[in-house]
Amino acid sequence: MEYLPEFDLLRPNTVDEALSLRRERPDARFLAGGTDLIVNIRRGIAEPGTVIDLTGIAEIRRIARQDDGGLKIGAAVTLAELLERPELTDEYQALREAAAEVAASSHREVATVGGNLCLDTRCLYYNQSEWWRSANAYCLKHRGEVCHVAPSGKHCFAAFSGDLAPAIMALGGTAEIAGPDGRRTAPLGEIYQDDGAAHLRLADGEMISAVQLPAAGTWQSGYAKARVRAAIDFPLAGTAIALRTDGRALEDIRVALTGTNSCPILIAGTDRLLGEAVGEEMAEQLVAMLPKQIQPMSSTFTPPGYRRKVVANLARSLFQRLIEAP
């Protein structure tokens, strides 16, 4: 299936109206920029009878400074709009660098914050044409019973490849979630789980309405990624780091990754580095924490061992860049 099938398109004006429409049509999918969903519909991977277009909801198209000095970013803000904000350059560099690395400039004109956070997981055996997938008896993620990456198990290893999530997690950001039971907030990392077939932990009918970032203070941050083609591709791996130092010793650090697992991950154990002198030795200690916490599989064009080396080099070089920054 390489054509766009018919579906009903609904355009609510408020978040509550969007949630109401979703309750009335349980098969409906929320749509923002459509750079992921429309491609999947065209390929027959997603087949909603109804699509709910969120781009007309003014509430989730805003970026606003909060009373505590933080920033609230609506889920329907496009990446191009995000990059126009001076706060990203001055305070939230990791998010700016991540947004600037998503696809190409034409994609960023329509791709949204919420869409990138809810990006479907990807795999060589999933993101293919209908005839290719049917010839291979489909896969565990879609209509099949076997994960072709790991045929002996029943776990889907499709990889999460959004760029914004690790940056927001490193910055300590939270997600504002709207659903049938009202609104709630949660650390962004809590909306994901390491399951390629069901990586989002949003309840039925819930949607991300905004992201909230705490005041940047003295945190320094950055993002780095590797991909096959620099102008188009999803990351083979991406690393976000946010840290604070007193000029000599490390006061705090958060490290988050994408592309290695079925969800973005926040590296555990970095508290062991606090109070130690920053430098090359600390960079190697940080890199040594990664292997046991990541699980790259043969779900992309490059082998797992290569992606492990890429992650290590990205983390090492990004850490050095941040501690050497003026």
Identify the domain containing residue 134 by its residue range. 63-213
- Same domain for 201 and 90? yes
Last residue of a domain, one of 14, 32, 53: 53
- Same domain for 208 and 244? no
User: Over the stretch 204-243, which tens digit does the pLDDT of each residue have?
Assistant: 999 999 999 999 999 999 999 999 887 778 999 999 999 9
Contact 120, 36 (CB under 8 A): yes
Overall domain count for the chain: 3
Rounded mean pLDDT of 36-63? 95
- Same domain for 253 and 129? no
- Same domain for 195 and 231? no
Q: Is residue 58 part of a domain?
A: no
Query: Which of 75, 93, 96 shows the shortest CA–CA distance to 84?
Result: 96
Structural tokens at position 31: 């749509």
- Same domain for 200 and 260? no
pTM of the model: 0.96
- Same domain for 77 and 197? yes
CATH number at residue 230: 3.30.390.50
pLDDT value of position 320? 97
User: Over the stretch 282-300, which tens digit does the pLDDT of each residue have?
Assistant: 999 999 999 999 999 999 8
- Same domain for 242 and 293? yes
Contact 260, 311 (CB under 8 A): yes
